[in-house]
Amino acid sequence: MRVLIVSQYFWPENFRINDLAREFQERGHAVMVLTGLPNYPSGRLFKGYGYRGPWKQSYEGVRVIRAPLISRGGGGNLRLALNYLSFAVMASIIGLLRCRKAYDVIFVYEPSPITVAIPAIVLKWLSGAPLMLWVLDLWPESVAAAGAVRSKALLWFIERLVRSIYRQCDHILVQSQAFRGHIERLGIVSSVIHYFPSWAESLYTSMNGQAALPENVRLPAGFRIMFAGNVGAAQDFETIIKAAEQLKRRSDIHWIVLGDGRKFAWVREEIRRRQLESQMHLLGRYPLEAMPAFFAHADVMLVTLRRDPIFALTIPGKVQSYLACGRPVLAALDGEGARIIEAAGAGNTCPSENPEALAAAVLELAEISKETRERMGKQGADYYHVHFDRKVLLDKLEGWMHDLVRTGC
């Protein structure tokens, strides 16, 4: 098949769409990606990229076409809106100029924003190719939950836009079964909606605790709680910091943060202000390839989200990565994400935005035996292979694409 992927984010940014594109290319499909200039999560354009390009690249045999955009900057609401809209406009123009080939299917990766689908719709009109949208973030619910948009009139407009986008899609894939009702509420028939959860890249496997860390990295001795991913508003670092402060007397408990994002500077300042430098360690962002080795040295992996009904429907993508690596998980989540950890027997859960409960869950995990934690990790890995196996999911996606190509809808 000839597959066009439209995604605002792509390599060298760390997103699961990189793995999907590479895998489909290896399966013999001709894959092209229409994307923007990499700037996530720091908000700054990556080294080697600028407003002179590069505009054409190759990634593991995948052709990459880049569109100019306004970078995220500090992540303020206005700057994010400009970032989203600039990609929607410029990718539509660049797509018309450089992606005019005939495609068998157009695949849209939508962790946020929903406006990423606009260039794909333009190219659908041009090529007649069927369109698949993978929804990992519900709009307008998520922007309302994050406080980015409070105007009822603007939320009404966004909802109308989302409904219009959904109606242009031949298949809508949802990362959580709980998304179905919200999409059907916008008038989309259930037969168009398919459950398609995230998986972990093949490099995420159980590793020996002595796996080599990146050069010059030294982790503190003691009980290590590790968070990996975006340091943003949705991840509720306020609760993490308050829980760490409550456990300050336990000098053997260490909170290790791998990642970057719009709240990184705030988190760093709070750690300094609360004198938590001995407990909380901000290591910054590392390449995806380094993550399994870091995970192997953690006693427990941490996933958190703010308390909001929309976040309770979501399965954070890092959950699959944690499970695949066979590490016990501590989840300060409500709803679907917590349900998966509990069903897997993979660790402990506690409610969102409850630092007392998070601190208590940390102590409980720190006090049980290492063998018990390892058993939790193994149960999580077993659950992952049953419910989130990478090959099974990508085979299913490939089958849906073939069906679309064969039927034309």
Give the pair of three-digit tokens for residue 85. 């809209």
Which residue carries 């590490």 as its tokens? 327
Q: Write the pLDDT tens digit of every residue in 183-222.
A: 999 999 999 999 999 999 989 987 755 678 988 899 999 9
CA distances for 399 relative to 77, 93, 98, 110, 330, angstroms? 39, 31, 28, 20, 35
Residue 208: its pLDDT value, please? 58
DSSP state of 159: H
- Cβ atoms of 280 and 255 closer than 8 Å: yes
Query: Per-residue pLDDT tens for 217-236?
Result: 999 999 999 999 999 888 99
pTM for the model stands at 0.87
pLDDT of residue 406: 87
The per-residue pLDDT for range 294-333, each reduced to its tens digit, is: 999 999 999 999 999 989 999 999 999 999 999 999 999 9
Cα 11 to chain centroid, rounded: 14
Hey, is 258 helix, strand or coil? strand
Q: How many CA atoms lie within 13 A of 346 on its CB side?
A: 31
Residue ranges covered by each domain of the chain: 2-199+389-407, 223-387
The answer, yes or no, to whether residue 361 has pLDDT greater than 70, is: yes
If you count DSSP H runs as helices and E runs as strands, how many of each does the chain have, helices first?
14, 14
| Omega cis (within 30) before 140 | yes
CATH number for the region 2-199+389-407 comes to: 3.40.50.2000
Q: What is the mean pLDDT of residues 356-381?
A: 97
365 near 253, Cβ under 8 Å?
no
223-387: same fold as 2-199+389-407?
yes
What mean pLDDT is predicted for residues 5-23?
A: 97
Q: What is the strand order of the sheet 223-228 is part of? A: 280-284, 253-258, 223-228, 300-304, 329-332, 347-350
**Domain 223-387: CATH architecture, name and number where available:** 3-Layer(aba) Sandwich (3.40)
